């Protein structure tokens, strides 16, 4: 039997006919249902697709803002942080900001150091939160310093260095109970190590300390007692085998900040005759050491012709009509005050100097730059040495 679609075969009973019509109706209903489901699926799929692209767009926008925030941060850390907070990419808490700096992704470590070094109360809190993110447990002091000094670029200013190294020492002592008697001991030894790094690895430092001298130099710093010799030997060996690396190393490193390598070389010095009428350029062998500038007539002379203490002096570049590459030592905010210095007269008498400025000419522009850099460092390291000396005194007191 059968018959064509839509037609009803003639040989059916009325019941069968009814049944067939029912089946056909259900089929139509089912087809309609299927169509509705298809439409719904298409709609949902469409929504999902749209949803995906808004999410994507949001993400792209977000990434763009993050990249912009980092760029801004590298140019001006405060503005960068501000921007990231305004765009809900950073919470205004010291923990969140510390986390961002600690991860450091795409951030300039000099900029991180600048931000952490700010004197602002909030920045100091961020500094402490940042230091807390460092894990120093079971690291020796050199390993911990390697990690810490690599996480940002230590700024050049004494007060900032002091705050940062204080925070470091506190954290190290908390992570390593019982290694040092006090935070000050850890602080002082940290600097002894940083200076050892310079002494051992900077080619300008001729005098390389032995491990025995390093041990001797650190006698009595553990609140009057000595640190275990084995500990000091290990730290010494570690630095000797591998110098500290600092980020953004441009040669203007910690070395120039507070450990000024001695510098020596020929320079021309403008000298006045007695009475100050005639001025002549004299070639002298200059040595910069101990925050003083010494000058000699010959490199082999034992006694200097003159000594210029650098305390309270400033240095500036100057143009001279007769000589190139000139700089001057002078007393800031001063017109006529004579610089405290001394010199040896031809007849051997030592007399006070009579200069309100010292004008000096270097053989090349490069040497001029290098002398100015070294003298500046020698002048500016003073507050730092005072701070360190005060701590040393504190930890050396025998109880
Ligand atoms: C980081 O910033 C310092 C100071 O602005 C700059 O000298 C240095 O080149 C920068 N480093 C990088 C990797 O951009
Ligand atoms: C350690 O010494 C090396 C070589 O002089 C220098 O490049 C580096 O900056 C020093 N590190 C520190 C933390 O002073
Ligand atoms: C120092 O120099 C001034 C002029 O520059 C001169 O009048 C004075 O006598 C000098 N004093 C000494 C001790 O040479
Ligand atoms: C530097 O200045 C301080 C304070 O004015 C003063 O006490 C000290 O004697 C000065 N030192 C020299 C070498 O002029």
Rounded distance between C-alpha atoms, residue 233 and residue 225, angstroms: 17
Q: How far is the CA of 341 from the centre of ligand 3 (A)?
A: 14
Ligand 1 centroid distance, CA of 107 (Å): 10
CA distance 347 to 349: 6
* Strand arrangement of the beta sheet that strand 326-330 belongs to: 314-318, 326-330, 357-361, 263-272, 279-289, 292-296, 306-309, 342-344, 350-352
| Residue 397 CB less than 6 A away from ligand 3 | no
Active site residue ranges: 157
Is the minimum distance from the CB of 147 to ligand 1 under 6 angstroms? no
How do strand 350-352 and strand 342-344 relate by DSSP bridges?
Answer: antiparallel
Nearest CA to ligand 2 atom 10: 244
Distance 313 CA to ligand 4 centre (A): 10
**Nearest CA, atom 3, ligand 1:** 110
Protein residue whose Cα sits closest to atom 5 of ligand 3: 276
CA-based max dimension of the chain: 150
Task: Show pLDDT as tens, one digit a residue, over the chain (399 residues).
Answer: 455 566 777 888 889 999 999 999 999 999 999 999 999 999 888 887 777 778 888 888 899 999 999 999 999 999 999 999 999 999 999 999 999 999 999 999 999 999 999 999 999 999 999 999 999 999 999 999 999 999 999 987 878 988 999 999 999 999 999 999 999 999 999 989 988 998 898 887 777 999 999 999 899 999 889 999 999 999 999 999 999 998 987 765 566 555 555 788 999 999 876 566 778 999 999 999 878 899 999 988 888 999 999 988 999 999 999 999 999 999 998 777 888 889 888 888 888 888 889 999 999 999 999 899 889 877 866 567 777 778 888 888 654
Give the residue extent of every domain in the chain: 91-241, 263-383
The torsion of the CA quartet 377, 383, 389, 392, rounded to 10 degrees, works out to -100
Closest residue by Cα to atom 4, ligand 3, is: 276
pTM above 0.85, yes or no: no
Distance (Å) from CA 124 to ligand 1 centroid: 23
Q: Under 8 Å CB-to-CB from 242, ≥6 apart: which residues?
A: none
Look up the CATH number of domain 263-383.
2.30.29.30
76 lines ligand 1 (CB under 6 A): no
Residue whose structure tokens are 């809190």:
125
Mutate to test the pocket of ligand 4, among 310, 311, 313 (most ligand atoms within 8 A of CB): 311
Residue ranges lining ligand 2, Cβ < 6 Å: 149, 194, 197-198, 201-202, 243-244, 246, 249, 253-255
Contacts of 137 by beta carbon, 8 Å cutoff, 6+ apart: 175, 176
Query: Under CATH, to which class is 91-241 assigned?
Result: mainly alpha
Same topology between domain 91-241 and domain 263-383 = no
pLDDT at position 358 is: 93
Supply the residue whose CA is at minimum distance from atom 11 of ligand 2.
244
């Amino acid at each position: 039997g059968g018959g064509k679609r839509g037609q009803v075969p003639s040989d059916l009973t009325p019941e069968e006919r009814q049944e067939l019509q029912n089946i056909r109706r259900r089929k139509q209903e089912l087809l309609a249902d299927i169509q509705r489901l298809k439409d719904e699926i298409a709609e949902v799929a469409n929504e999902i697709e749209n949803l995906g692209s808004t999410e994507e767009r949001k993400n792209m926008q977000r990434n763009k803002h993050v990249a912009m925030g980092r760029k801004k941060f590298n140019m001006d850390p405060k503005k960068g942080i501000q921007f990231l907070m305004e765009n809900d990419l950073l919470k205004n808490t010291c923990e969140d900001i510390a986390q961002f700096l600690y991860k450091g992704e795409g951030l300039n470590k000099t900029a991180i150091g600048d931000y952490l070094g700010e004197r602002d109360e909030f920045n100091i809190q961020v500094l402490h939160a940042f230091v807390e993110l460092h894990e120093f447990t079971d690291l020796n002091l050199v390993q911990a310093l390697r990690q810490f000094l690599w996480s940002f670029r230590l700024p050049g200013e004494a007060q900032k260095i002091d705050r940062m190294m204080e925070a470091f020492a506190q954290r190290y002592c908390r992570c390593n109970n019982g290694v040092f008697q006090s935070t000050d001991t850890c602080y002082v030894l940290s600097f002894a190590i940083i200076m050892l790094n310079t002494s051992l690895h900077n080619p300008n430092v001729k005098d390389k300390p032995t491990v025995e001298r390093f041990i001797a130099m650190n006698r009595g710093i553990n609140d009057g007692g000595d640190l275990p010799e084995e500990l000091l030997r290990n730290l010494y060996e570690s630095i000797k085998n591998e110098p500290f690396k600092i980020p953004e190393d441009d040669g203007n490193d910690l070395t120039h900040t507070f450990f000024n390598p001695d510098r020596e070389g020929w320079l021309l010095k403008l000298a006045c005759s007695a009475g100050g009428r005639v001025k002549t350029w004299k070639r002298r062998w200059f040595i910069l050491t101990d925050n003083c500038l010494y000058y000699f007539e010959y490199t082999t002379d034992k006694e200097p012709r003159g000594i210029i203490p650098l305390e309270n002096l400033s240095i500036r570049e100057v143009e001279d009509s007769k000589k190139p590459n000139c700089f001057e030592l002078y007393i800031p905010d001063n017109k006529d005050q004579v610089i405290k210095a001394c010199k040896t007269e031809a007849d051997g008498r030592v007399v006070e100097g009579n200069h309100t400025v010292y004008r000096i000419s270097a053989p090349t522009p490069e040497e001029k730059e290098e002398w100015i850099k070294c003298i500046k460092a020698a002048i500016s390291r003073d507050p730092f040495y005072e701070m360190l000396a005060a701590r040393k005194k504190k930890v050396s007191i025998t109880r």
